[in-house]
Structure 1
Amino acid sequence: MKTAAPETTVADSVHDPSVPQGAAHTYREIRQQPRLWADMATRLTEQRDSLDAFLAPLLAEPRLRIVLTGAGTSAYAGQIARSALARATGRTVVALATTDITADPGACFEESDRPTLLVSFARSGNSPESLAATRIADQLLDRCAHLVITCNADGSLAARHEGRADSYVLLTPPESEDQGFAMTSSLTCMLLGALRALGGDHVRGLDGCPAAAASLLSGDVTDRVAELTGRGADRFVYLGSGALHALAGESALKLLELTGGAVTSLSDSSLGFRHGPKAFLTERTAVVVYVSNDPYTRQYDLDIFREMSAALPGGHVVAVAARPDGLPADRTWLVDGMAGADDAALALPAVLCAQLVALNASLACGVRPDNPFPDGEVNRVVQGVTIHPLPTR
């Protein structure tokens, strides 16, 4: 397996002529992920005893409901992790966006008497909905504990829950609080934190993620990404099943964000795409199919890959997969070392492919990926949200 390229600091990125102006933060934050994941694993090992002391009484509850929540990219973290954590814990696990909890709390928390662990993903911890969701849960639920996974020790969410008996604040490495516009290393460190904290050894493949990501970054996938984005596609489709369907959603969002909307993107499940969204296709569409490691689910991903390959010009359709069987080598971006991984673990190195596509497409459009919205119409931490008081119960 190839070794990773030397670690790049933000200072190196700023002065490196190979890193385009306006991309230094995003470039560094994509490439630092293998190192930060190793750091995150060490943090979980060091906190295992205190974390288990907090979680064990909750997980012993047969009626426990685990709610994974966040907004935007943070919501996708919960969706990617959901099924793996349900299998690992043997408890009901749902993924609900903080935006849904805030806007329609009654529908999200219908069973007010059910013991609940609210797992909040938050890069800054200062988004209005992140704060509102934990407050709403406390108001509506008879018994609610909180696992806050955040990149910002000084954020409002961490401050609100630090020191509470019913809360545990799990911090990711400080460098994971991305300074670029889009969430890259913040997403993956928080996702890894949830999978390790709640899933532990029951989630297959987590130990192999850093090496798999390092291999992607130092291998020929970077050249293949450049080739795909250089074909002039003005719209992208990301497809996948299960946890990789959620990864497809995050991938489409990343492209939309980093290109400032200049490249249109769409995501769907491998089966769902045919039910109307397929109308999105034109001759200038590129398609990325995430291929599941599950033998049964994989069949549907391979089917849609073949169908899209026949429908679009050569080179416009690629697969991201951990196993090469059933796929053409020249159109497969292989994630080495992850053939036995759960799809939620595979998503960690696989998302780097989407991040690199978004970075390259942004630069090709003449957009600065560190700040694709210089006029402030879209912001790194959401603005303009009014949180309305809940009606009395």
Structure 2
Amino acid sequence: MKTAAPETAAPEAADDRQSVPQGAAHTSREIRHQPRLWAETATRLGKERDSLDAFLAPLLAEPRLRIVLTGAGTSAYAGQIARSALARATGRSVVAVATTDITADPTGCFEESGRPTLLVSFARSGNSPESLAATEIADQLLDRCAHLVITCNADGTLATRHQDRANSHVLLTPPESEDQGFAMTSSLTCMLLAALLSLGGDQVRGLAGCPAAAASLLSGDVTDRVTELTGRGPDRFVYLGSGALQALAGESALKLLELTGGAVTALSDSSLGFRHGPKAFLTPRTAVVVYVSNDPYTRQYDLDIFRELSAALPEGHVVAVAARPDGLPADRTWLVDGMADADDAALALPAVLCAQLVALNASLACGVRPDNPFPDGEVNRVVQGVTIHPLQTR
């Protein structure tokens, strides 16, 4: 499968250490170096394209192949964002199921034990208990299961357990993508890109333009607009989108909760689903970000909710993140240049930087240190306190 590699982007601007607030150095750097790391991710994948294709080809030749995209937290959103694009690209059944769901309800997630399955595991560290349990449960319940492990940590338990297995392939993103900050930023996008390139290739439109689009966002006026939005002092945020961009909305809300240490409440939903109860979340101090789809049909629903909420909330509290300006007011649109013809899964790569910047700014405005928003350890970078119970099968 040919790989639509991202175009090489210039390295991110060096951080001015005196201008980065204390406790934000890792998170700030890890947001800004994503364009460069995406180009490195594509280069790494290109070098192992032959071995990867040798692993994937016999699996993708199976008409009944089921591809399960899995991860926990942000890693689960990677699978949800990629799902529909990979289903179209491969012509196979693709589902996104969190490792937390597989671990807690294994027979419900793997009802067809005889169906050939490729389990694609996303993991920043590869040391989360559910990440390990999900692969073991799959092997226990499924008659034919292969594993594609996409991880940022070559020394993580998930990578080392699968490195030399005949039915596994470990795909490593650049070492710098293993974020040192609390929240997943470049780890998410590098793993998502790796999945789209490895299983979708040039069937996923727009991947080549992602680094330039992200670099443009980071150097353009969107950063000022983010500061303007968070400067209005919203005490809650709503993120909305449709399809792949609904999953992006979920990740965006999670990022805000994480980096502000829960000080700013966040909610996500689909553009149509929001009216069915969750709209009660709105107050005059709510900010709303609507991700607008590139699909002409889906886009109509995103524009509808954008207009409706713009009329209901104070001026400037509702913004759109979009790759095309048509139907949107310029002063309330954060434009993702160069992605007008991209699949929404590819658009999500640069678009998520908007959410990361919002979360970073909101965290600092709350007096929270985004590199470690939970200094008392209530929430941990690698989840703790999970007991994996033995699965009894007949």
Query: TM-score band (shorter)?
Result: over 0.9
Spell out, residue by residue over 1:70-123, the C-alpha distance to the aligned partner (whole angstroms, 9 max, x if none): 000000000000000000000000000000000000000000000000000000
- In 2, distance between residues paired with 1:383 and 1:89? 36
Q: Give ranges in structure 2 of 5+ residues lacking alignment.
A: 1-7
- In 1, distance between residues paired with 2:393 and 2:24? 48
Spell out, residue by residue over 1:216-248, the C-alpha distance to the aligned partner (whole angstroms, 9 max, x if none): 000000000000000010000000000000000
Q: Which amino acid aligns with 1:94?
A: V
- In 1, distance between residues paired with 2:173 and 2:11? 22
Counterpart secondary structure, 1:157: helix
- In 2, distance between residues paired with 1:66 and 1:4? 31
Counterpart secondary structure, 1:267: strand
What are the residue-to-residue correspondences of 1:150-229 with 2, within 5 Å? 150-229=151-230
Spell out, residue by residue over 1:133-182, the C-alpha distance to the aligned partner (whole angstroms, 9 max, x if none): 00000000000000000000000000000011100000000000000000
Counterpart secondary structure, 1:389: coil
Spell out, residue by residue over 1:185-218, the C-alpha distance to the aligned partner (whole angstroms, 9 max, x if none): 0000000000000000100000000000000000
What are the residue-to-residue correspondences of 1:67-78 with 2, within 5 Å? 67-78=68-79
- In 2, distance between residues paired with 1:320 and 1:298? 12
Instruction: Name the residue aligned to 1:113.
Output: 114
- In 1, distance between residues paired with 2:9 and 2:92? 38
Q: Percent identity?
A: 90
Instruction: Name the residue aligned to 1:241.
Output: 242
1:64 correspondence with 2:65 = yes
1:311 correspondence with 2:316 = no
- Give the conservation status (yes or no) of the 8 Å contact 2:259–2:360: yes
Instruction: Name the residue aligned to 1:297.
Output: 298
Shift of 1:4: 7.8
- Give the conservation status (yes or no) of the 8 Å contact 2:177–2:186: yes
Counterpart secondary structure, 2:48: helix
- In 1, distance between residues paired with 2:270 and 2:12? 35
- Give the conservation status (yes or no) of the 8 Å contact 1:4–1:217: no
TM-score, structure 1 normalization? 0.97
Instruction: Name the residue aligned to 1:271.
Output: 272
Instruction: Name the residue aligned to 1:333.
Output: 334
Instruction: Name the residue aligned to 2:85.
Output: 84
Pick from 2, 7, 19 the counterpart of residue 12 of structure 2.
7
- In 2, distance between residues paired with 1:144 and 1:300? 38
- In 1, distance between residues paired with 2:364 and 2:233? 13
- In 2, distance between residues paired with 1:278 and 1:355? 24
Q: Which amino acid aligns with 2:351?
A: A
Counterpart secondary structure, 1:319: strand
Q: Which amino acid aligns with 1:39?
A: E
Q: How large is the Cα RMSD of the aligned pairs?
A: 1.1
Give the number of aligned pairs: 387
- In 2, distance between residues paired with 1:382 and 1:274? 33
Instruction: Name the residue aligned to 1:361.
Output: 362
Q: CA, structure 1 residues 58+317, in 2 after alignment: closer, same or farther (shift >3 Å)?
A: same
- In 1, distance between residues paired with 2:344 and 2:275? 23
- In 1, distance between residues paired with 2:104 and 2:240? 28
TM-score, structure 2 normalization? 0.97
- Give the conservation status (yes or no) of the 8 Å contact 1:4–1:215: no
- In 2, distance between residues paired with 1:383 and 1:323? 42
Spell out, residue by residue over 1:279-314, the C-alpha distance to the aligned partner (whole angstroms, 9 max, x if none): 000000000000000000000000000001000000
Q: Which amino acid aligns with 2:369?
A: R
Counterpart secondary structure, 2:154: coil
1:256 correspondence with 2:261 = no
- In 2, distance between residues paired with 1:310 and 1:85? 37
Counterpart secondary structure, 1:120: strand
- In 2, distance between residues paired with 1:148 and 1:6? 27
- Give the conservation status (yes or no) of the 8 Å contact 1:8–1:28: no
Instruction: Name the residue aligned to 1:346.
Output: 347
- In 1, distance between residues paired with 2:315 and 2:43? 44
- In 2, distance between residues paired with 1:143 and 1:350? 37
- In 2, distance between residues paired with 1:201 and 1:134? 29
Instruction: Name the residue aligned to 2:323.
Output: 322
Q: Give ranges in structure 1 of 5+ residues lacking alignment.
A: none
Instruction: Name the residue aligned to 1:138.
Output: 139
- In 2, distance between residues paired with 1:184 and 1:228? 21
- In 2, distance between residues paired with 1:203 and 1:6? 25
Q: Which amino acid aligns with 2:114?
A: D
- In 1, distance between residues paired with 2:44 and 2:270? 34
- Give the conservation status (yes or no) of the 8 Å contact 2:9–2:36: no
Q: Which amino acid aligns with 1:162?
A: Q
